[in-house]
Structure 1
Amino acid sequence: MSEWKAFTVEIADNVAQVTLIGPGKGNAMGPDFWRELPEVFAELDADPQVRAVVITGSGKHFSFGLDLAATAGTLAPVLVEDAKAAPRTEFLKEVRRMQASVTALAECTKPVIAAVSGWCIGGGLDLIAAADIRLASADAKFSLREAKVAIVADIGSLQRLPGIIGEGNLRELAFTAKDIDAARAERMGLVNEVFADQEAVLAAAHAMAREIAGNPPLVVQGIKDVLEQRTSPAIADGLRYVSTWNAAFLPSKDLPEAIAAVFEKRAPQFKGE
């Protein structure tokens, strides 16, 4: 395997463990993450020794989501008042590139199990929504946080979560941007099972991955291909729509206010302008 800046990859017993390592605090998703994620999963997909994948976070948390400081340059051109077609087009391309990074995980022919501990926020939720199975430790917390920072979530949660947690639960999480604990996540079907702590959930994820790896690999991959066919066209259409919507309507006075409030650790004052 290659060496990565945002991940480590270990392979044993036909199971690969992909670990988010930052470099941002709480494994926040910066430029290295978005560039490397599809490369990591392309290598795993091509490796015949890998039959299942476990993805997890280093340290106490899965991921704090998008690294706002590191990716501010992506938003800056469209925050200019009366931004024209050129910066909006570049923003559209960047969003679609980030979408494709997460979709690379969903399209991996090997089943992917997410083992979540601590915070899983925003982009972290996008990432685990693209996994096949999600497990959590009792201290895990989840948040579809984008509304609080004046962003329409555009990397996959709004497209993939309806089939996982249902429309009502998704709309509650998206409209409120509230935090939920592992117990609530299990009740709504976001995670299959909750375990005592980080060590236990990672052990359970590996046990499940080894169980999957013990089955005929081409059959397992065929099952995933058939299951993905039911949903992937609608997800692809939804991703294109939201990227286009955000390129047109995301710029607002509320967006820089939300970002400033995050860094200044204060409540934002939204005006709907």
Structure 2
Amino acid sequence: MKNMANLIGGGLALLFCAFASVASSHAATVLYFDGFESNPNTWSGVTQVPNGTDGVPSASGSFHGSPSLNAFTQLGGYNFGAGGGVPTAFQDYSTSLDIYLDVGGSGWTNGTRFDYTSAINDSDGNHVRDFAFNAGFYDDATGPGSANTDRFIIGTSNNTGPNEDPKAKSNPIAIEMTGWYTFRHTFYESGGSLNVDLAVLDSSDVVLGSWMLTSGAPSDPIGDFGGNRYGWFPGTTPGASNLFIDNSQLTLAAAVPEPASLAFCALVAIGMVVGEKRRRRQKEAS
């Protein structure tokens, strides 16, 4: 009976460890979300429009947003991605926004540009740096994609403005099909520094292009960073006014299991192995 109790107790402990591991790996927390289903919304300079406006279906729900120049959001509040406190310590987080790219739409001429950037604060809530998608509409023969075909070309950098030519960026991509695309920033600590992965995904969550940007300065240790500052379409690139947006989101990354919890789970596993060997020896001796 004692052995049976030990087995049950050990099994329950391992079940707890397995559950804790799965929960921690999937427990990313959405801290902020705006699908533009309510009006007013959390963006400055964005008008709520119903599904089907100008022939554009909402990415989800019954409404989406139409931005003007300099449209921006605080993504729930400055430093929200680090827990909302100022001063506050950095935590891994991501921001994302769905943007409708109309390859054959009106208002786009060759070279029309737009930028979308997600910026980060320092631990005291002051602006540090932008991480930008640099994009433009092209129908000429140069750059990635099919020559002389209507398409958007997208690259990335730490800057915005009319001089940030996406064709000149590292590994630009071309998008030749009209539809909704997710523009995602993932902020995370690596080797004591800040890294930011930028990615463009299609409506099936297939990654079409990805780029990794560092903090931009070797003297920027992770302890100098806090949380998000804003998502922003700078007014220096007026193509933003020809876009539609939906599903603005900020997500706090899943917590890594506590070292003490990992040690406990390891001890449980070792104890069960040792106990099983002991029971086998006792059975062979009898």
TM (normalized to structure 2)? 0.28
Between 1 and 2, higher relative CO (CA 8 Å, sep ≥ 6) is seen in 2
TM (normalized to structure 1)? 0.29
Structure showing greater radius of gyration is 2
Larger strand proportion of the pair: 2
Larger helix proportion of the pair: 1
